Chain A
Amino acid sequence: MSAGDGDEGDSRKSFASRHTFGAGDMSVGALSGARHRTGLEETRPRDLAAPSSGATLGAVRAFLVAAAVAASLVVVAVAVPARTAHAAARCPASWAPGWQKLANRIQAPVYCPTWMPAPLDAKIGGPVADGYSVKRDRSYWVSFLSLDTGDEVHVNFRGYPGRTRVPTCVETQTLGNRTVSSKTPCFANAAGTVTVGAIHATLYTVNQDADQWHLLYAWRYRGSLYAVSEHVISRYDTAQVKRNLLKLMRGLVLVQPQKQS
């Protein structure tokens, strides 16, 4: 499998055991909105199960990061601020290559952050880069995760070029002896909107896959849907996560794709 061909490896995401539903009670598959999926698809219990073994987690993470780095090669950052009010903002130099590479690869703008909640940075392929995938429909998922301080700090970026509808996820639930799969919005329970510069975003509180137990803001830009989310955990409660995400969104700058030679 070549880098980025697969679906998101969301299934190996580790959550803190804040709340545990019955084992096997419900599983959530990968995004079903994609036209093509590969064998990376897995289901995982929707509960906040204990983290995967360190070896497995590390191996998968290393693979994904390596794939992202390999795909990056040499790029030139062309970061364009998302709005005139922050005309001076630029995708940080050390982060820009990865985001530029992503924009080039999907041939659509992506949002590069200029601020991340501690201790994260947003260097794709960097030490806290946790996941990176691009599907054949060009939708992407970029994840940054730290477990270093004992608390998980986790931010996801998503983009869906050429479409603005909330994607659909698949839930698999065990009912007695039966397993039932059903479709559900990947982002749900809209809980208000906010305008940050040129971004008019909707807050979603019930989200699936790698965005589970996250607060997520999603917005549209030129016919595409973008989203950023952060995990709610003791260090970052819901109020703090909202503040973090608003600050993060205030600092987003658009990275335009370069024409491919």
Chain B
Amino acid sequence: MRLDRRRFLGAAAAGALGGAGLYELVDRLTAAPARPAAARIGARPPEQHVLDDLAVIRQDGVEVIVPPLHHAVVTGTVKAGDLRTARRDLEAALQELESRYEQTPRGLGITVAWGLPYFRRHVSHAADRHLPFDRRAQKAALLDARRFPSDPESTILESNDVAVLLRSDRLAHVQDAEKTLFDHLDVFERTSIRRGFVGGGFDGGPGLPKQMATAAGVSGGDLIPDGSELFLGFTSTQKDGLGPRLIANHETLGYVDLRGGYFHGGTHMHLSHIAEDLEAWYLNFQSQERVDTVFRPGLHVRPGAQTVRQAPQDVSTERQVARTFASTGRFGHSASIQPTSRLPHDVVGADGTVYPKGTAVPQRADFNTLDNPFAWTADARRDSFSTQPQAGVHFVVFNPSSDDFHRNRMAMDGVMPDGTKLPLPPNARGQGINSILKTTHRQNFLVPPRRHRSFPLAELA
């Protein structure tokens, strides 16, 4: 489908508070993915961040999870003066949504996450007593966001009170939730709306990211390989690359001291926006160099392969990463992160589940976007807002703690967990995929368990 560019930009501009704008095109370009029959209606997990009944397909012999098609994140500040009333109203609204939708991609995934500004401004005394503590890092489990070595000075470290992540195969469900929580309810002041999509390329053809980028007139969009799950061409939701169901919970791996247990079943969420330079990626890096820098140098894959196995037996160690860097001048995006993102040995979780060595810990929920950098912002100047579509990703990831995410992100920049630094400048060609990414915004959030998702600790304040 070709969309007139003027109409596309018009849709982008109109997409702000009023609706999904250009993302309505997603449903005209692809159908909702096939899903297994719902088996869990009414049985909601204690965790907010867990989505069940995800479909799993095989690509190039690798199991791939099919994520929800539509995504949105709405950030805000607390407007309400009386937190207890606000808590009651928000919980009622969330339960109303839950009565309409199951917590699956077919229905609606709602994750309400809270930032440090909320805990500091509104419930500081209770937060001092109850916020989880990261034993391994000897720091709070929820930290202020920081800039990493490859972040530009312009990266904005945000200070939102709340972020609501909405995921569904049905755009109407996401829109309904936005209206219910932010229009009909008077407890939040919106600071940004971030929208996007993921997948839609598993059934052959050009694939959703390519069609969306091309329709938006993003330079390089027409060079995205057909069938890609994401703008950058490789499948990122393979099952082995994503943490299993409860591994990112605060309590599972024992990294976090839950103190009184208020946040048992909760997790940590990092939210960032990353602009992607498709031109630089597709005009500068040959296929093998893309594989080298996305996965690990020297990895041989079938020409044109988009799904590259990253099973536990494929995981790189710190030593291997350092050795490869010494001989090739590259370390590979996935390989460098794996020493921190994969379990170094078998771990028995808090509930008795055995997680084998090489299991991924982070649960990613990132999605492609044409926001620049957001679909809407309350502070267009600060955020350098533009209606001109731009390829990017709203990166959403669940880890047990801020420090766990920070370790992974530092490793991506060549700083290994044992302190070893692989001296590769952030913009060096050897960085490959990392060199064409530019993070514009970051913030860390805490995701309480479902029972405390509405204004956590307000009842104790």
Contact = CB atoms under 8 A, between A and B. Distances in A.
Given A238-B222, A238-B279, A22 B427 contact: yes
Contacts of A215: 283
Contacts of A237: 217, 219-220, 279
Interface in A141-195: 173-176, 180, 184, 188-189, 191
Contacts of B222: 238-239, 242
Contacts of B286: 184, 188-189, 206
- B contact residues, range: 20 to 34
B219 A239 contact: yes
A206 B427 contact: no
Interface in B95-133: none
A47 B286 CA distance: 15
Interface residues of A, number: 31
A22 B434 CA distance: 13
B384 interface: no
A122 interface: no
B285 interface: yes
Interface string A85-100: 0000000000000000
Contact of A206 (B285, B423, B426): B285
Contact of B219 (A20, A180, A191, A232): A232
Question: Which applies to chain B's interface (DSSP): helix, strand, loop or mixed?
Answer: helix
A22 B436 CA distance: 12
Question: Which applies to chain A's interface (DSSP): helix, strand, loop or mixed?
Answer: mixed
A85 B426 CA distance: 52
B353 interface: no
B221 A25 contact: no
Contacts of A242: 222
Contacts of B221: 238-239
Interface in B276-333: 277, 279-280, 282-287, 326, 328-329
Nearest to A173: B329
A46 B329 CA distance: 15
Contacts of A19: 277, 279-280, 284, 435-436
Interface in A189-216: 189, 191, 205-207, 212-215
Interface string A229-261: 000101001110010000000000000000000
29 contacts: A18-B280, A19-B277, A19-B279, A19-B435, A22-B425, A22-B426, A22-B427, A22-B428, A25-B428, A46-B429, A47-B429, A175-B328, A175-B329, A175-B430, A176-B326, A188-B287, A205-B282, A206-B284, A206-B285, A207-B283, A213-B279, A213-B283, A213-B284, A232-B279, A232-B283, A234-B219, A237-B217, A238-B283, A239-B217
Q: Give 10 closest A-B pairs by Cβ, nearest first.
A: A175-B329, A237-B219, A22-B428, A22-B425, A21-B429, A19-B280, A25-B428, A188-B286, A25-B429, A26-B429
Interface of A: 18-22, 25-26, 46-47, 173-176, 180, 184, 188-189, 191, 205-207, 212-215, 232, 234, 237-239, 242
Interface of B: 214, 217, 219-223, 277, 279-280, 282-287, 326, 328-329, 423, 425-430, 435-436
